[in-house]
Structure 1
Amino acid sequence: MSTLHWAGLLLLAVIAGAVVPFQSAINANLSRGLGHPLWATLASLLVSIAVLLPVIIALRLPLPSLGFISKAPLWMWAGGAFGVCFIALALMLLPKLGASGFIALALSGQVVASLALDHFGLFGLVERHLTLPKLLGAAMLIAGVVLIQFSTSPARALLPDP
């Protein structure tokens, strides 16, 4: 894989992460308007379907194999449930923790879970053993979460005096 291709993949991963706080903040406002986080979760998922279906049709993707659908292990369908869990929890927690606090905490959970998934090669992933540098990186991320979430310095301290 060329360096340019690899850089493009890294950029796309950063973009994927960057849209999450926007999605969470927008959905938190939708939640207030609709009266409950679960209604906003449903609305978000329905909009996802409405956006995704035309793309699938435009790309003329073939229908999935019914044989696979009927024989796939139950854990393969859990992704949708995890998506509902993330969206609903984001809607409930983002207003209380702030965007940076919620995303930092969610990211630390993602990193810790990802290290376990990679280390044990769970759900068909290639085993990527846990190493000391990976553990140090996770620890530094969690230290960053503590600084972001539990800092008591006033926000104005970062702004220049008028």
Structure 2
Amino acid sequence: MTPLHWLGLIVLAVIAGAVVPFQSAINANLGRGLGHPLWATLASLLVSIGVLLPVILALRLPLPSLAFITQAPLWMWAGGAFGVCFISLALMLLPKLGASGFVALALAGQMLASLMLDHFGLFGLAERQLTTPRVVGALLLMGGVALIQFGGAPAKALASA
């Protein structure tokens, strides 16, 4: 892979991360307006379908294989449930933790789970051993999470948590 290709991937990954606090903040407001966070989760997923379906049609993507759909292991369908979990928890927690606190804690959870997925090569991922530099990096991330969430005003941050 060329350095320019890597740079493009890095930029796209940063954009993917940058949309999370916007999505969470917007959905939190939607949840308040609709009367419950789960209504906002449903609305968010319906809008996702409404946005994605025209893109799929415009790209003229072939229909998925019926054989794969009927034979795929059940765990392959869990992504939707994880999406509902993330969206719903973001709706409920972002107003309480703030955007930076929620994103920092969510990122910490993502990092811990990612280290486990990589180490054991789960779900078809290539194995990447848990090395000292990777553990130190995760610990530094945890320290950063603590600074972001509690560094400004510890008593106030703890009282509101």
SS at match of 1:32: helix
Query: Per-residue displacement from partner, 1:78-137 (whole Å, max 9, x unpaired)?
Result: 000000000000000000000000000000000000000000000000001111111000
Q: How many residues align?
A: 154
Matched residue, 1:157: none
TM-superposed deviation, 1:152: 3.8
Matched residue, 1:29: 29
TM-superposed deviation, 1:153: 3.5
Query: Which amino acid in 2 is paired with 1:26?
Result: I
CA distance in 2, matches of 1:149, 1:75: 34
CA distance in 2, matches of 1:100, 1:28: 14
Matched residue, 1:55: 55
CA distance in 2, matches of 1:30, 1:14: 25
Matched residue, 2:121: 121
CA distance in 2, matches of 1:61, 1:140: 42
Structure 1 unaligned spans of 5+: 155-162
TM-superposed deviation, 1:150: 1.1
CA distance in 2, matches of 1:117, 1:96: 29
Residue 133 (str. 1) matches residue 107 (str. 2)? no
Matched residue, 1:107: 107
Query: Per-residue displacement from partner, 1:3-54 (whole Å, max 9, x unpaired)?
Result: 1011100110010000000000000000000000000000000000000000
Query: Which amino acid in 2 is paired with 1:134?
Result: R
TM-superposed deviation, 1:151: 2.0
CA distance in 1, matches of 2:67, 2:90: 35
Alignment RMSD:
0.9
CA distance in 1, matches of 2:52, 2:17: 19
Query: Which amino acid in 2 is paired with 1:73?
Result: P
Matched residue, 1:65: 65
Matched residue, 2:157: none
Matched residue, 1:146: 146
CA distance in 1, matches of 2:64, 2:99: 37
Structure 2 unaligned spans of 5+: 155-161
